[in-house]
Structure 1
């Protein structure tokens, strides 16, 4: 099976949003998912996303990212979601998706890439550590929902 990593297009939003719902369920946080497919379409200019697509055009993974400025590091990239469908995990797709983000960050002269990982998700922590990521337990999320 060949996998192509490419920039997402608006017509890719329905399967991406379906995976976002799957990701929220995987994280046991479905109730926190307040966006919708319609909202994605209306806010498409803010969505930066690479997808993993099979040779049969099935989208089996995605990664969402955006530029950020961290006062301690400068221009950076934030990776919001990295998700691969269950039946496609362990095949290197996640590595290829994050590799695409890393390449994009380097080409964009970013000084770091930041993301979060749930403290219970040992396989993700092991994966990120194998990539050389430093995982600290210092900060926690603070969300102010409007």
Structure 2
């Protein structure tokens, strides 16, 4: 039995179903249910591969004994820092299927994204982690990440977003 090999590849339109499946698996890992995921193949197709892509995906594949299987993914997009006057790379999702954890795939994906950030002259590479996800927190700290505890995420969505948008004077 040969050791497994890992390959990273940008997602293509043909991967929309796989991306949705990864998102649903991430939801389960994050103690949600797949039905809470509102993403659809059509929305992913439009927003990842349409005329104006809003995010990008890298898929990790593992080959064992000549069989290649999808093992995980990273979804990211670019933002902008006014203080730095530079773009930033924001990691929206990182998920590795449990059977493929401990193969270094998460680190490989983060290294690749750090390289993308450097290539695009980003001043920052950021992401969030759930406060109860201690294995991930320790993993990120071990890579040199700094937790920004003084920043609180704010979110307006669903009916609250509708109401805010409609409240213009």
- TM-score in terms of structure 1 length: 0.92
Q: Gaps spanning 5+ residues in structure 2: where?
A: 159-169
Deviates more, 1:95-104 or 1:10-19: 10-19
| Structure 1 position 47, deviation (Å) | 3.1
Match of 1:36 in 2: 40
Deviates more, 1:57-66 or 1:104-113: 57-66
Q: Contact conserved, 2:87 with 2:122, CA < 8 A, in 1?
A: yes
Checking the alignment, whether the CA contact within 8 Å between 1:66 and 1:78 is kept in structure 2 is yes
Deviation at 1:142, TM superposition (A): 1.9
Q: TM-score, normalised by structure 2?
A: 0.80
Aligned to 1:64: 75
**Residue 82 (structure 1) shift:** 0.7
Choose 11-20 or 39-48, whichever is displaced more: 39-48
Structure with more relative contact order (C-alpha pairs < 8 Å, separation 6 or more): 1
Residue of structure 1 equivalent to 2:132? 120
Find out whether 1:48 has 2:56 as its counterpart: yes
Structure 1 residues without counterparts, runs of 5 or longer:
none
2:23 is aligned with 1:20: yes
Question: Counterpart of 1:129?
Answer: 141
For these two proteins, the number of residue pairs brought into alignment is: 146
State how far apart, in whole Å, the 2-side matches of 1:78 and 1:68 are: 7
Contact 1:67 / 1:78 at 8 angstroms: preserved in 2?
Answer: yes
